[in-house]
Structure 1
Amino acid sequence: MDGSFHSPEWHAARLASLKTTHTLTWEEYKQKQKEEELKKQEVEADTDKLMREYRAQLDAERAMKLSKGRNYSSDISRKDRKERELTDRKCRDSKRKKSKKRKHSKRRSSDSSSSSESSSSDKDESRKSRSSSKRPKRERKHKSRGRHSKPK
């Protein structure tokens, strides 16, 4: 035994396969690299051309929009704006109605509770207590005004 793990037939087949495969020479390799570089440049040129066309189209659209003026709006946006205004009005009207109903219900409940539970003298006392609670706030306001309005 010579220590190799492969038979002489395998070595013969291996050498034959190595001879049949074509390895590139340095000249062939340089030529192939040049061709690949040319292909890359063509692809880049095409993408640049497409990008320039796209930018030109965008610039043209922008110029058209700017030439129409600042206050110009398309029909679609006008329709949208009208629809938004109608919905806003409906919302505002419904809020007003709700707030009016709340105010009326508060008045009714306060009137009914005060008239049924208390007499006229009780009403006077409650008014006095309300007004007395308001007076200190007014006095505070006046005091603060007096401080700031004093000349130096």
Structure 2
Amino acid sequence: MDGSFHTPEWHAARLASLKTTHTLTWEEYRQKQKEEELKKVELEADTDMLMREYRAQLDAERAMKLSKGRNYSSDRSTKDRKERELTDRKGRDSKRKRSKKRKHSRRGSSDSSSSSESSSSDEEEFRKSRSSSKRPKRERKHKSRGRHSRT
């Protein structure tokens, strides 16, 4: 009995298949590796170019939006803008009415004072009231506390 696992026909077929298959030589292998490397470099160059174009497009859009102004928003419609303008006008009108009422009440209190006071004292009071209204609340509180503690 033959000690091999395969028949002599199988061995002959195996040797024939080994001879017919092409194995790469070192030069062929190096050439193939260079070609693959060139393909990778070209692919990276293409992606870099696409990324630069995309960044340029984004920068152009950003510049357009910034050039339109601070309060510009493209998602707001003209209808919303008109409604906002109407509400703003109403708010301004009510503020004007309130300020007119305040002015009239100030004048009324100064008119009710004695007529012996001169107009210069009225101006001084007006200046004092304006200057005190400009101060923050904290300063006013501290100042009023100091006056009460001294007396």
If the length of structure 2 is used for normalisation, what is the TM-score? 0.51
For residues 71 and 7 of structure 1, the distance between their equivalents in structure 2, rounded to whole angstroms, comes to: 89
For residues 19 and 77 of structure 2, the distance between their equivalents in structure 1, rounded to whole angstroms, comes to: 79
Cα 1:26/1:77, change in 2 over 3 Å: same
Aligned AA (1:69): G
- Secondary structure in 2 matching 1:37: helix
For residues 46 and 84 of structure 1, the distance between their equivalents in structure 2, rounded to whole angstroms, comes to: 49
Give the 4+ runs in structure 1 shifted more than 3 A.
78-85
Matched, 1:60 2:60: yes
Name the residue aligned to 1:8: 8
Name the residue aligned to 1:77: 76
How far the C-alpha of 1:72 sits from its partner, in A, is 1.8
- Secondary structure in 2 matching 1:2: coil
Name the residue aligned to 2:36: 36
Aligned AA (2:46): D
The structure carrying a bigger helix percent of its residues is 1
How far the C-alpha of 1:42 sits from its partner, in A, is 0.6
Aligned AA (2:34): K
Name the residue aligned to 1:132: none
How far the C-alpha of 1:69 sits from its partner, in A, is 0.9
Aligned AA (1:11): H
Correspondence list, 1:1-152, <5 A: 1-74=1-74, 76-79=75-78, 81=80
How far the C-alpha of 1:9 sits from its partner, in A, is 0.4
If the length of structure 1 is used for normalisation, what is the TM-score? 0.51
For residues 66 and 24 of structure 1, the distance between their equivalents in structure 2, rounded to whole angstroms, comes to: 60
For residues 63 and 81 of structure 1, the distance between their equivalents in structure 2, rounded to whole angstroms, comes to: 25
For residues 37 and 23 of structure 1, the distance between their equivalents in structure 2, rounded to whole angstroms, comes to: 21
How far the C-alpha of 1:71 sits from its partner, in A, is 1.5
Name the residue aligned to 1:109: none
Percent identity, aligned pairs only, is 79
- Secondary structure in 1 matching 2:76: helix
Cα 1:17/1:80, change in 2 over 3 Å: farther
CA deviations 1:83-118 (Å, max 9, x no partner) are 997xxxxxxxxxxxxxxxxxxxxxxxxxxxxxxxxx
For residues 67 and 57 of structure 2, the distance between their equivalents in structure 1, rounded to whole angstroms, comes to: 15
Cα 1:53/1:4, change in 2 over 3 Å: same
Name the residue aligned to 1:102: none
| Unpaired runs of at least 5, structure 1 | 86-148
For residues 33 and 57 of structure 1, the distance between their equivalents in structure 2, rounded to whole angstroms, comes to: 36
For residues 11 and 84 of structure 1, the distance between their equivalents in structure 2, rounded to whole angstroms, comes to: 93
| Unpaired runs of at least 5, structure 2 | 85-147
